[in-house]
Amino acid sequence: MKPFIFLILISVISTRVCAQRPQKTYCNPIDINYRYNFEQLNENISYRSGADPVIVNHKGEYYLFVTISGGWWHSKDLVNWDYVVPDKWPMEDMCAPAALSVRDTLYLFQSTFDLRPIFYTTTPWNGHLKFFNRLLPALRGATGPWDPAIYHDEDTDKWYMYWGSSNVFPIYGIELDHHKRLTYVDTARAMIYLNPAQHGWERFGRDHRDTIKPFAEGAWMTKYMGRYYLQYGAPGTEYNVYANGTYVGDHPLGPFYYAPYNPVSYKPGGFVTGAGHGNTFQDNHGNYWNTGTPWIAVNWNFERRIAMFPAGFDRDGQMFSDTRFGDFPHFLPAAKWNDKDELFTGWMLLSYNKPCTASSTRDSYTADLVTDENPRTFWVALTREKTEWITVDLQKVSEIRAVQVNYTDYKSGIFDSDSTVYTQFKLLHSADGNNWEILTDLSHEKRDRPNAYIELEQPVQARFIKYEHVYVASRNLAISDIRVFGKAPGKPPVTPRNLTVKRDTDPRNAFVTWEPVKGATGYNILWGIEAEKLYQTFQHFSDEITPLEIRALNIGQDYYFAIEAFNENGVSAVSKPVYCK
């Protein structure tokens, strides 16, 4: 019996080691336990949400602060996030909080139109907060501060605050006096006004097609090579075109000048859409990241998630964020990267529009909706029992590297993320649809993972991926998308030919056409203000309407455009850039 027991122990230890292997990749939206939102409790609207992120690098570890979440998240590697409940919280939950790390102290402040305190902590991992000041005095020269950001200039040891969330008022700035507990100095100054008549990306609505006056919000300050980059979000959180832009100046309070390459973070196409209202931070290797707020809007216009994208400044000081394949798996850097695209794993989307079968279906919420790359459509099972399952047929045996399971809050009836709120499931794989093996077993996990991302330790060869349900707290089992990543057998597509770009009579718009590529899943249209600065990306699936109209251009600015095709096997070479005046 002893040798047998010894073998069992080896097996258990081996399993645990494998389970604890550090994850090397991440996938947007980030995999955290998004909290249930109580704002629409009186309207009986229930959903998880996260928005307006600030990620702070504090003493080599990372802290994520999100709107109305009852706490914050702590990570040592930007992929595994533990939820922290504070021992002291303001008079109400924090909306669009400001967070800043200076030396050994992390400062925290909420959006408000009233008098509120600034908190601080030197131990943010345990949730212990103290009052840095009891109440900031009333602002002079502006209302707020709503959507605040606190900034400390290391070179001058001066402090500032920026804020604004309005389609009437600008982004404001003001100096703070650290010797007087960060009270305001003088009066608020207007920093940024939107100008949608000149800046196409600042227009409101889906694809910038609404005439509502746009919103400026989500201020953040970054200093690079002696210059100050005042970041802002526009034109509104409810649509696919939510983006971050920047004004640049030589002083923390300006004057600031519009960056002609705006927006700096923009993701209107793909599964995760919207990249606005976030912050810019550096990791422990010196790499820059830009965070943002993707749009879900199943239950409520302001139902959202969190994303982060590699970012940086080029040799000319141009600020950028890399959203190319921004919702596909990316490597977490182990050092300073040199190429903005080198973190992309090359694991392609294998599940797009692939056929599905399910144990049951409620009404018109059919199984095929889990592979349409649309978080606003979803499958609903008849029950939430363990007998429910759904299978994706990839239609060919492929190399599987990762799977993302995205739940939907369909009539969930939950308004508080208590200890009963978690997700449990199994994933299985098969080459023939008859013989199944475990891909991952999360049937005993007690974490809530509404956007669970599973990176495999080793790739597997499979045609079928099966989700077997175990538990959700919601009244219904609803899944918007099961996204499978890896490589299918075959060759990448060829580079699209005959790319043409025609500026509209309204020069904020351009029409982009190309010759379709046989076998392409989709295309990335790349553009920028120089042929070597194609920092913008619009992901466009091959079954979507063409020509593609891009409505995010700045009047008076010339552009270069290029295109690449992608399929399940890889990505083509990028076409030669086309000049567009």
- What CATH number corresponds to the domain at position 511? 2.60.40.10
Q: Note whether residue 572 is domain-resident.
A: yes
- Residues 192, 170 contacting (CB under 8 angstroms): yes
Q: Which of 460, 487, 514 is the last residue of a domain?
A: 487
Shared domain for 409 and 542, answered yes or no, is no
Q: Which of 535, 574, 570 is nearest to 262 (CA)?
A: 535
Q: Note whether residue 552 is domain-resident.
A: yes
Tokens at 420, concatenated: 């009963």
Tokens at 18, concatenated: 């494998």
Q: Note whether residue 15 is domain-resident.
A: no
Shared domain for 110 and 208, answered yes or no, is yes
Mean pLDDT of 177-190: 95
Shared domain for 425 and 501, answered yes or no, is no
Shared domain for 71 and 154, answered yes or no, is yes
- 37 vs 52: CA distance, rounded Å: 14
Shared domain for 370 and 336, answered yes or no, is no
What is the dihedral sign for C-alpha 435, 437, 439, 444?
positive
Q: Note whether residue 8 is domain-resident.
A: no
Q: Note whether residue 258 is domain-resident.
A: yes
Mean pLDDT of 508-533: 98
- At residue 21 the predicted structure's pLDDT band, cuts being 50, 70 and 90, is low
- 218 vs 67: CA distance, rounded Å: 12
Shared domain for 375 and 333, answered yes or no, is no
- Read off the DSSP letter of residue 490: S
Mean pLDDT of 116-122: 95
- What's the pLDDT at 278? 97
Q: Which of 487, 514, 540 is the last residue of a domain?
A: 487
Shared domain for 373 and 443, answered yes or no, is yes
Shared domain for 365 and 342, answered yes or no, is no
Shared domain for 524 and 471, answered yes or no, is no
Q: Which of 446, 469, 487 is the last residue of a domain?
A: 487
- What's the pLDDT at 3? 41
Shared domain for 426 and 373, answered yes or no, is yes
Shared domain for 160 and 302, answered yes or no, is yes
Q: Note whether residue 14 is domain-resident.
A: no
Shared domain for 305 and 367, answered yes or no, is no
- At residue 364 the predicted structure's pLDDT band, cuts being 50, 70 and 90, is very high
- What's the pLDDT at 92? 83
Dihedral angle computed from the Cα positions of residues 431, 434, 439 and 441, in that order, rounded to the nearest 10 degrees? 170
* Helix and strand element counts for the chain (H, E): 1, 40
- 237 vs 240: CA distance, rounded Å: 8
What average pLDDT does the chain have? 95
Q: What 3-state class would DSSP assign to 214?
A: coil
Tell me the CA end-to-end span of the chain in Å, nearest whole number: 80
- Percentage of residues in the chain with pLDDT exceeding 70? 96
| 463: pLDDT strictly greater than 50 | yes
Q: Note whether residue 56 is domain-resident.
A: yes
Range of the domain at 210: 25-346
Q: Please report which residue ranges of 209-319 form alpha helices under DSSP H.
A: none
Mean pLDDT of 220-231: 98
- What's the pLDDT at 8? 36
- What's the pLDDT at 5? 39
Q: Note whether residue 4 is domain-resident.
A: no
Q: In Å, how far from its chain's centre is CA 50?
A: 10
What's the CATH code of the domain at 188? 2.115.10.20
| Beta-ladder partners of 106 | 101, 121
Mean pLDDT of 429-456: 98
Mean pLDDT of 281-291: 98
- What's the pLDDT at 560? 98
- 380 vs 358: CA distance, rounded Å: 10
Task: Give the chain's domain count.
Answer: 3
| Helix (H) / strand (E) containing 233 | strand 227-234
